[in-house]
Amino acid sequence: MRIALVGNPNSGKTTLFNNLTGTNQYIGNWPGVTVEKKEGKVKNYKNISVIDLPGIYSLSPYSLEEVISRNYIINEKPDVLINIVDGSNLERNLYLTTQLIETGVPVVIAINMMDVIEKNKDVIKSQQIAKLLNCPVIEITALKSQGSNELIDAAIKVNQAKYDYQPVTWYSLEIENVIGKISLLIKDLVSKEKLRWYSIKVFEKDESVLKELNLDLSEELLKEISVIEAKLDDDSESLISTERYKFIGKFVDKVYLKNKIVAQSISEKIDRVLTNKYLGLPIFAVIIFLVYYLSISTVGGFLTDYVNDVIFGDGGLPDIIGGWLSSINSPIWLEGVLIDGVIGGVGAVLGFLPQMFVLFLLLGILEESGYMARIAFILDRIFRRFGLSGKAFIPMLISTGCAIPGVMAARTIEEENNRKMMIVTTTFMPCGAKLPIIALIAGAMFRGSSIQWLIAPSAYLLGIGAIIVSSIILKKFKAFAGDAAPFIMELPDYHMPRVKGLSFHVYHKLKSFVKKAGTIILFASVIIWFLSSYSWRLEMVDTELSILASIGKLIEFAFVPIGFGDWKAAVATFTGLIAKENVVSTFGVLYGFAEVSESGMEIWNLLNVDFTPLSAYSFLVFNLICAPCFAAMGAIKREMGSRKWTLFAIGFQTGLAYILALMFYRLGLLFSGTFNFFSIIAIVFLIGFAYLLFRPNPYLKKI
């Protein structure tokens, strides 16, 4: 038995999926969290599968989520549909319900958030809904795991009963007459239970359905549809939508008794400040600053210092293992692999785990509380000026955890050119893998500086700025031109984050980070140690005479213009393409972990030779914006579906990173009186950027 969960975004669908299956899928407060269908087995029912379909508002195939959900429901033929309906937004949610009932698949309606209904002293007549819509209705509160068992029982009963589809009609007699004629025309082409759905789609002139049925509408039928369109002064698709909403409006009045004596909710009062037209954006900037300040410079920094001092400092793990290896007279190469390679590389990355914990915890609180959903709307006001939608913030925010789901979340953007543009640019956000780089630059290279506290928040703002700037430029070219899609989303009420939800959120993100440290980064660290310890003759030598040094010195010239033309920095940048954490682990191997430890002042003494504060930040700029890790590149290729566009994305990302780093470093040197050929190039690029930014967009319609 297969049960498909279908509902609007933020209706509690994924929460219910977790309750039923015991898995811990990510839960968010915006469309796009579920960008592919997910499947699991119902707890205590090994023969029942539950499929979590992407959150959608309708079965019209305008977005990729709608395509995924519609194709599954129509083509894969699940046994039962559980339609999750937000009881506090009943009228809006029922639009999808009417479409699901028309598919001919047995439907069980789950009215969610009954705790909110009871709190507001509203009344929903569930049994009357069941009678009017001819399907079972179960009241649930997914957040508190209430009603899940009853829901499964209802689905089992519907599946075991002999299902005789009896369509509920909610269209006018004129429209029903034409739908009836279409049914006679296509009755031999589709199954009985799906005949009504296909007939309505033919009436709407749905291109994908007409193509699937290989159907050319007869001239007579087109004439009848045209007569109705002319009479009612609207196209056939809009007529169907209007009729549905008319039915829903009358229907809700019968089954939903709203308490009229309800004071302004706490959420509405908070939103008057946090989503204020003028205060919303500055408040967001302050909150993000505090998040990164606490994560990198204060609480997270103190925890990282403690871990590095106690575990990896004097008397810590390196000394313990080193002493044990000496006591058993182990070979020098083994000591080098374990101390300099494994502990030096992997330990350098794991040392930043406390900072990542604090960051993900704080971001999780913002997301669980419902605040992050508001930011999408706040930024929509800005993005729309440049032809972007607030939906662009969804992949950006998801990318702060990992670029791969962020790239996949671009599917929420309906317009193809805008979707391609977000796939190209969303990896500019500082993901979890880039956090150790940010922490290293802020905590080690800027330690004691008066601007240390600004480094981490500036990295987040740099990512947002790079996306906005590059989007403005790209949309002025035909390949990325396109109007912003409407941004519709239910705003959840503010609520206290649940410990369970936060725990899953942080655990999931840290688990993948630690797993990568124990696999990819471990392997890369050992390889880097070997290449940095041996010559081409396989003799153990000083690092400067090693294989890695000879390779690094071949490519270091490329980074001279942007300030870090040392072979060690060049190699670290390239190893970051495997996994961004490798940038830090490479430094850990090449400089020795004790020196890379954020708590050690020795780091500045060593890196002082290769970096200045200006070149250190240039290094940060380049590594934040340039091409992402190989896994994210693979996600870009899958989403683009084209090698050409994938190569363009990687080239654009790397080129933009180089140009931004060049401008920052060379224009920064002007303040110290340094002017040369590269300064001229930086000024030319700056002028070019200004031109591309401010020249009129020939493809942007004036609204």
Convert the pLDDT of each residue in 185-232 to its tens digit.
888 888 888 889 889 998 888 888 888 888 776 677 778 888 888 888
Pairing of strands 80-86, 38-42: unpaired
Among 5-14, 229-238, 423-432, the range of highest mean pLDDT: 423-432
**Considering 257, 277, 304, which residue would you say is the last residue of a domain?**
257
Average pLDDT over residues 163-167: 65
pLDDT, position 485: 63
List the CATH number of the domain containing 242.
1.10.287.1770
Residues 109 and 94: their CA atoms lie apart, in Å, by 10
User: Is 168 among the domain residues?
Assistant: no
Average pLDDT over residues 155-165: 80
- Helix (H) or strand (E) holding 7, with range, is strand 2-7
User: Is 279 among the domain residues?
Assistant: no
Q: Residue 458 sits in which domain range?
A: 288-486+502-694
Supply the pTM of this predicted model: 0.73
**Considering 160, 194, 217, which residue would you say is the last residue of a domain?**
160
User: Is 187 among the domain residues?
Assistant: yes
Q: At residue 92, does pLDDT exceed 50?
A: yes
User: Is 271 among the domain residues?
Assistant: no
Residue with tokens 């969303």: 426
Per DSSP, 141 falls in state: B
> N- to C-terminal Cα distance for the chain?
50
How is residue 58 written in tokens?
Answer: 């309708």
Residues 51 and 201: their CA atoms lie apart, in Å, by 25
One domain, residues 122 and 32: yes
How much of the chain, in percent, has pLDDT values that exceed 70? Answer: 89
Q: At residue 620, does pLDDT exceed 90?
A: yes
Maximum separation of any 2 CA atoms in the chain, in Å: 95
Q: Are 590 and 544 in contact (CB under 8 A)?
A: no
Number of domains comprising the chain:
3
Q: Are 626 and 658 in contact (CB under 8 A)?
A: yes
Pairing of strands 256-257, 123-124: antiparallel
Q: What is the number of helices (H) and of strands (E) in the chain?
A: 35, 8
Buried residues in 360-397 as b, exposed as e (16+ CB within 10 A): bbbbbbbbbbbbbbbbbbbbbeebbebbbbbbbbbbbb
**Considering 160, 184, 216, which residue would you say is the last residue of a domain?**
160
One domain, residues 445 and 511: yes
One domain, residues 243 and 326: no
One domain, residues 200 and 309: no
Average pLDDT over residues 176-190: 88
pLDDT, position 502: 81
One domain, residues 87 and 190: no
One domain, residues 204 and 250: yes
Q: Which of 276, 409, 350, 264 is nearest to 598 (CA)?
A: 350
User: Is 278 among the domain residues?
Assistant: no
Strands of the 2-7 sheet, one edge to the other: 38-42, 45-52, 2-7, 80-86, 107-112, 137-139
Cβ-proximal residues to 423 (8 Å cutoff; 6+ apart), any chain:
407, 410, 636, 639, 640, 649
One domain, residues 369 and 417: yes
pLDDT band at 156 (very low <50, low <70, confident <90, very high): very high
pLDDT band at 100 (very low <50, low <70, confident <90, very high): very high
Long-range contacts (CB closer than 8 Å, 24 or more residues apart) made by 646-651: 648/424, 649/423, 649/424
One domain, residues 155 and 250: no
Cβ-proximal residues to 402 (8 Å cutoff; 6+ apart), any chain:
431, 432, 433, 509, 512
One domain, residues 125 and 190: no
One domain, residues 602 and 523: yes
Q: At residue 382, does pLDDT exceed 90?
A: no
User: Is 495 among the domain residues?
Assistant: no
Considering only 311-315, 500-504, 517-521, which range has the smallest mean pLDDT?
Answer: 311-315
Residues 65 and 354: their CA atoms lie apart, in Å, by 36
One domain, residues 61 and 194: no
Residues 325 and 323: their CA atoms lie apart, in Å, by 5
User: Is 659 among the domain residues?
Assistant: yes
pLDDT, position 608: 53
Average pLDDT over residues 462-487: 84
- How do residues 127-148 score in pLDDT, each as one tens digit? 999 988 889 999 999 888 899 9
One domain, residues 155 and 179: no
- How do residues 661-689 score in pLDDT, each as one tens digit? 999 999 999 998 889 999 999 999 999 99
- In degrees and rounded to multiples of 5, residue 324 shows phi and psi of -65, -40
- How do residues 323-362 score in pLDDT, each as one tens digit? 787 788 777 777 777 777 677 767 777 778 888 889 889 9
Q: Are 589 and 444 in contact (CB under 8 A)?
A: no
Residue 554 burial by Cβ neighbours in a 10 Å radius (0-12, 13-18, 19+): exposed
Considering only 51-55, 255-259, 261-265, 429-433, which range has the smallest mean pLDDT?
Answer: 261-265
User: Is 400 among the domain residues?
Assistant: yes
List the CATH number of the domain containing 70.
3.40.50.300
